[in-house]
Amino acid sequence: MTQNENVSEPLICDGGAALLKKIARVGLFLGPALFALLLMVGPPQGMSGVGLATLALLVWMVVWWISEAVPIAMTALLPVALLPLLGAATGKQAAAPYADEIIFLFIGGFILALSIERWNLHTRIALSIAGAIGSKPRALIGGFLLASALLSMWISNTATALMLMPTALGVAGATFVHGKTDPRFAGALVLAVAYAASIGGIGTPVGSPTNLIAMAYLERNGLALSFSQWMAMAIPIMLLMLAACWLVLSWDFRKMPDDGLAAKDVLAAEKRKLGRISAPEMRVLIVFSCVALAWILRPAINTLPGLSALSDTAIAVLGALALFLVPAGAPGEAPQALMNWQRAERLPWGVALLFGGGLSIAEAMTRNGVTDWLGQAMAQFGALPPVLILLIIVVITVFATEFASNVATLTAMLPVVGAFSLAAGLPPLTLAFAASLAASLAFMMPIGTAPNAIAFGTGKVSIFYMLKMGFWLNLASITCITAMTELLAPLVLN
């Protein structure tokens, strides 16, 4: 699960920080200026005045989201303030999406993730996976890829990267290639942690807020996508991307022998520090396993008497509630539950606001005819092969998210997705799913994702190396998402 906000300035170099500040200053004035300009120009043929106002507000929000002129969560509140003033929605209509059911799925899922972090269960899982793979350079890269991806399916990708990075650095320093440490291996290992954190986030609906935004968009357009359906389509793509990432990062080490077992000793030592699995860890694991199993098996559970209305959101909330009721059972400590509100307050409420803002402006565009107008304007694309339209959406999203928040990128792309689907007669579910995955996979730039910035901040990765590795992985993600979505969507969704 990722918080999906762009990196803060301390994680990047001084020159990059200065550039971001300039972009923010320009964006601060450019957003409202474009909004005012569009209103002055007037609506194009076929669009109403209130439709133009809605579209102009979207342009303003996109500029502020991309430039981060103000915190992106605050930008997401613009619809509440401005849609009623523009006559584009009532106050209730503008505010209702901020309490969408999907937001509570995010809240419940994130509380589960925080409980895993609280009792350090994620560290035990990661060390067990990485230590079981082997001590050769290519095996270690694979081990950290797998550990990072599996954790990021359920908890924040930023937290995953931060937790695994010190261990990865220790292993890199203890791994000898031809009798000495290799700086290239250190770079490959820290990128494995960062890249896999992003890749793992696509595997489950709760793995990334972009996944939930896409699901909410689809539900508001009368299309439902279950937890199990998402995983059935996403996990094959996730596995292919992990394989591609392993090949790209480990290619230079394919002929290099393992000259020592010091790296394995580092992993074993870290695991010994944890001791035996504790009662709180085991109880959190049981609660989490029950919730994950219920998500996956919900279609079957819904056939049971009295459970036909059970939703993924209800499962998440019930699981989160259980954490506040189940005793931790930690020996020698005062009685306490597995979770408390003080830790739950760490939940990124700004991301919840971001969900609401994106849903509010998207709903206003549909209500005021903007989506229909965009679809008619893009009717010329209807003659293109469906797979080419899918490819265009994926390419635009993958490279756009290198320079902007992936949540903001996807939110801006969804109206385009709707227009493309109208123009070409394609199911919006397929395009929205592909765009959601593409928005999570940014590999070239340090500012593309927080894990990228964390890897770059270790000093083990040059910008050129990240660009080179990231370029090949961007191509791999475009190919995997396009081909597998085209292949799997008819099988899973019919």
**Among residues 441, 436, 438, 430, which one has the least CA distance to residue 386?**
430
Of all residues in the chain, the percent with pLDDT exceeding 70 is: 87
**Residues 438-459: pLDDT tens digits?**
988 889 877 677 788 778 877 8
**Residues 321-360: pLDDT tens digits?**
999 999 988 776 778 999 999 888 888 788 778 778 877 8
Residue type present at position 253: F
The pTM assigned to this predicted structure is 0.71
The yes-or-no verdict on residue 386 having pLDDT over 90 is no
CB 192 within 8 A of CB 148: yes
For the record, the structure tokens of 358 come out as 């994106």
- The residue assigned the tokens 């593409």 is 438
Mean pLDDT of 250-268: 66
User: In angstroms, what CA-CA distances link 219 with 281, 312, 359?
Assistant: 35, 13, 11
Higher pLDDT among residues 66 and 390, named by residue: 390
Question: How many residues comprise the chain?
Answer: 494
The alpha carbons of the chain give a radius of gyration, in whole angstroms, of 23
SS3 76: coil
